[in-house]
């Protein structure tokens, strides 16, 4: 018995050592001179991704709806050391605009190395209100525009052996109340991009796809949305943005941030679905839920 235990422990040690030594190391130089599109970069996590990439010397094209904010982010990117920085203004509810962003970015950058899909439309933290139009809007902005941009970007990324980075959420792995339509849009991203990743392998298209499973992050909008209802410690957006870039640069299939809580919930959901959803419902401050 003791012998078996020792054997198993040694085996585990060896596997862990192999895992750590064989996983490639991230270096900021990996992004130097890379041509990157970042969506939803006027604020929040996307804005922080732009700043990290600027410091690493990348070319960045950022997009969102609000021109004044984008201008400021572009200026700051240039002062941080971006090889170049441009913005494109418009709404991702419009699929023609989503495609145009890729076409215009290609002209600005003479190609594309990384597509970071990050934008979302605002959706509250409240009960589903049976509004089909709102579900359509959320699916267009949070999901279909990601598909539209990916279709346009695939030939460019094939040429550069580039990467697609998809920012998702724990709500895209574990269902929870108060974000019904948002959760559906994030699950759709997993279905689409995790399937597409396999086809790229089969077709020998060397484009990596990184799905980012994020827990609660301290962006202004997220904090406002959950305020009063969910009392959970958020992780910092600056650190989160860096982990997203690392995952893309290292061509990982998925990243989990903050790692322990998001990974734990995802694994638990697979093993014992009811236990974890019940635990989540109990954490909510039900009396503060706003009417939908
Ligand atoms: N923060 C969290 O706790 C958390 C947790 C899990 C996952 N995530 C994921 O992380 C990503 C970023 O979240 P965040 O908290 O940083 O979001 P955020 O601060 O609300 O930023 C959203 C970005 O999307 C843009 N946007 C909104 N509506 C748009 C539209 N119709 N067309 C084009 N752009 C639009 C916004 O700019 P404009 O308003 O100027 O257009 C903004 O730049 C999202 O994919 C989110 O699901 C966040
Ligand atoms: C895929 O692209 C990456 C990044 O350019 C490269 O490091 C890797 O060797 C490529 N793999 C194949 C099989 O060509």
Taking only the tens place, the pLDDT of each residue in 2-52 is 777 888 788 878 887 777 777 789 999 999 999 999 999 999 999 999 999
Cβ of 261 below 6 Å from ligand 2: no
Instruction: Specify if 101 maps to a domain.
Output: yes
Residue 85 within any structural domain of the chain: yes
Buried b (16+ CB within 10 A) or exposed e, 195-218: ebbeebeeeeeebbbbbbbbbbbb
Ligand 2 pocket mutation, candidates 206, 209, 248, 249, criterion most atoms within 8 A of CB: 206
* 134, 181 contact by CB (below 8 A): yes
- How far apart are alpha carbons 84 and 100 in whole angstroms? 19
**pLDDT at residue number 1:** 57
Task: Say if strands 84-89 and 59-64 run parallel, antiparallel, or are unpaired.
Answer: parallel
Q: Name the domain count of the chain.
A: 1
206 lines ligand 2 (CB under 6 A): yes
> Is residue 19 in a domain?
no
* Tens of pLDDT, residue by residue, the chain (292 residues): 577 788 878 887 888 777 777 778 999 999 999 999 999 999 999 999 999 999 999 999 999 999 999 999 999 999 999 999 999 999 999 999 999 999 999 999 999 999 999 999 999 999 999 999 999 999 999 999 999 999 999 999 999 999 999 999 999 999 999 999 999 999 999 999 999 999 999 999 999 999 999 999 999 999 999 999 998 999 999 999 999 999 999 999 999 999 999 999 999 999 988 888 888 888 899 999 988 8
Surface-to-core class of residue 168, CB atoms within 10 Å of its CB (0-12 exposed, 13-18 middle, 19+ buried)? buried
With 0-12 / 13-18 / 19 or more C-beta atoms within 10 angstroms meaning exposed / middle / buried, residue 37 is: buried
Which domain CATH number covers 236? 3.40.50.720
pTM, two decimals, is 0.94
Q: Tell me if 79 CB under 6 Å of ligand 2.
A: no
> What range does the domain containing 251 cover?
31-288
Spell out which residues line ligand 1, taking CB within 6 angstroms.
Answer: 40-46, 64-66, 69, 91-93, 118-121, 141, 167, 169, 214, 216-217, 219, 221-222
């Amino acid at each position: 018995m003791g012998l078996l235990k020792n054997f198993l422990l040694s085996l585990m040690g060896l596997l862990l050592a192999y895992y750590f030594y064989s996983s490639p190391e991230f270096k900021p130089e990996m992004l130097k001179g890379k041509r990157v599109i970042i969506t939803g970069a006027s604020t929040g996590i996307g804005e922080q991704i732009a700043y990290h990439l600027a410091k690493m010397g990348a070319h960045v094209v950022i997009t969102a709806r609000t021109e004044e904010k984008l201008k400021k982010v572009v200026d700051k990117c240039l002062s941080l050391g971006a090889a170049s920085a441009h913005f494109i203004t418009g709404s991702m509810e419009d699929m023609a605009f989503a495609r145009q962003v890729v076409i215009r970015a290609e002209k600005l950058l003479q190609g594309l190395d990384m597509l970071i899909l990050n934008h979302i439309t605002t959706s509250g933290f409240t009960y589903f209100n049976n509004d089909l139009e709102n579900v359509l809007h959320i699916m267009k902005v949070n999901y279909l525009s990601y598909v539209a941009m990916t279709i346009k970007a695939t030939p460019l990324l094939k040429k550069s052996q580039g990467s697609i980075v998809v920012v998702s959420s724990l709500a895209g792995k574990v269902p929870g109340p108060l974000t019904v339509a948002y959760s559906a849009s994030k699950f759709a991203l997993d279905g689409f991009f995790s399937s597409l990743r396999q086809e790229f392998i089969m077709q020998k298209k060397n484009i990596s796809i990184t799905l980012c499973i994020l827990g609660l992050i301290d962006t202004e909008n997220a904090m406002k949305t959950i305020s009063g209802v969910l009392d959970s410690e958020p992780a910092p957006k600056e650190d989160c943005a860096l982990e997203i870039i690392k995952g893309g640069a290292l061509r990982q299939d998925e990243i989990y941030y903050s790692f322990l809580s998001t990974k734990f919930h995802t694994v638990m959901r697979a093993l014992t679905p009811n236990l974890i959803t019940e635990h989540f419902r109990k954490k909510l401050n039900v009396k503060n839920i706003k009417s939908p």
